[in-house]
Structures are given as structure tokens and as C-alpha cells.
Amino acid sequence: MAAPQIILTPLLVFAGVNSTIKTPLARAPTVDSSIGAFQMLGHLDGVPFMGAAEISDGPFSLLSDAFHVPVGTNITTRNVFFDGGNAALTTNQVSADFLYHWLDEPAQSLDGGIGFRVWSFDANLTLNGAIAPTTSVTRSAQWADPLLAMRYHRDFGNGFGATAYADFGGFGAGAHTDWQVFGTIDYALSPRASLRLGYLSLNFNYTAADSIGFNVHMKGPIIAASFRF
């Protein structure tokens, strides 16, 4: 009987972040902020972490990933009531998928299953006073979303392959919507190590009980390495 296989994948994601924060302020009910994919490094407020792990045993797999991203950015206003401002955003995410190998062939595989994603999101928003006085709002939210997930891998030969992954969830249980898609081109350096280059897009739309809302879209290139044990 074959032993379970463990795959560890540290990630480097050059993600841009577009966010809309719903606030309790009558003069600024929503505030938009944006950081470009390669501007993220200049806006980090701490040390980020991104990684994934998978345990496979026969036709079953447990796939998990996590990240911690603390960023800060300036806010542009209409400069009437407020003269710009800044926002500090810290996002923590942990997800787990329970997958079944629906298709397992030498050249391709297809996995599908269910899972969940847990979010912790903190926002510190400051609007500089103009006609209105300087105002600061700090809000945080934590929730969990059920997910439906699918993954497809194709081997092209000579060490090259491609992987596509998608999940969708929320369904109002936590967020209104919560989805992620990514694709990578993979190259096997050895039977136990491979390099991966690709692109990721992740979005959630959540409104808390106090009407504070977060609509966040992260997207950007991926550089990763997978190690099998």
C-alpha cells in the first residue's frame, strides 16, 4: 500500500488589490482604493506570507492554502469635505478543500470536491479634514465561506505541464460571493521538485452586521515551487 504523498508549495504572488470599503460615514459611504500588482511591494506594512500544502492518499486529497498580506495605501477623495486620506488593510485567509480524483490518467487528472475559506479582514481608514473634521474608522470582520472546488492538470511531456484551479462559494453563509481562479505552467526539475509560473484572481464581497462592507479583488502573477515528500 502506497504511503500518502505530501506536497508543500511556497508562493510569491505579485497581487494588485482593488477594494471598496463601505463605511458608516454619511459624507463618504464608500471609499475606493487600489494598489497595482507591482506596487504592492512598496505598500507592504509588514512581512507577507503565502503558501499551500496538499496531502494525497489514493483517490482523496486534502488541499490547503494560507496567506497574510498587510498593506497601506493613500485614498483619493473629491477634496470637498475631505482632503484625501489613507487606508491600512490587513487580510488573512486560510482555506481547505477535500478533493476526489474523478479522472486519474498518466497525462491528465481532474479533481473536484468541497471546502471552506476562512477570512480575517482589518481596515483602518483615515480621511483628512477639509470642511469636515478629520475622521478615522477602524473595523474588522471574520467569517467562513463554504466552497465548491475543481482542479485540472495536464502533462505535456519533457517535464512541462499546466494546472488550472477554480472555486466558488459564499452563498450568503458568510460572504455574498467568494471565488478564486488560478492557472500555472509547471516544469518538473526532478520527481520531487517543480517550478510554477501563472496568474491568480481572488474576490470576496462581504457585508457585516453593522453595515460595514468589504469588496476586495486581488489579482496578479504567481511564482511558486512545489516539493513532494
Three-class SS of residue 130? Answer: coil
- What's the pLDDT at 94? 96
Please, what are the averages of pLDDT over each run of 10 residues along the chain (229 residues)? 86 79 64 68 73 95 91 64 72 94 93 96 74 71 93 96 97 92 96 96 82 79 95
Backbone angles phi, psi at 4, to 5 degrees: -60, 145
Largest CA distance in the chain: 73
CB < 8 Å & 24+ apart, contacts of 102-109? 104/59, 106/155, 107/154, 107/155, 108/152, 108/153, 108/154, 108/155, 109/152, 109/153
Torsion of CA 192, 193, 198, 201, to 10 degrees: 60
The tally of domains found in the chain comes to 1
- What's the pLDDT at 213? 75
Three-class SS of residue 105? Answer: coil
CATH number where 51 lies: 2.40.128.90
The domain of 39 spans: 5-228
Q: How many C-alpha atoms does 113 have within 13 Å on its Cβ side?
A: 20
- Asked if residue 161 lies in contact with residue 184, where contact means CB atoms within 8 angstroms, the answer is no
- What's the pLDDT at 209? 65
Number of C-beta neighbours around residue 86 at 10 A: 14
Nearest-angstrom CA–CA distance, 18 and 15: 10
- What's the pLDDT at 31? 66
- What's the pLDDT at 100? 97
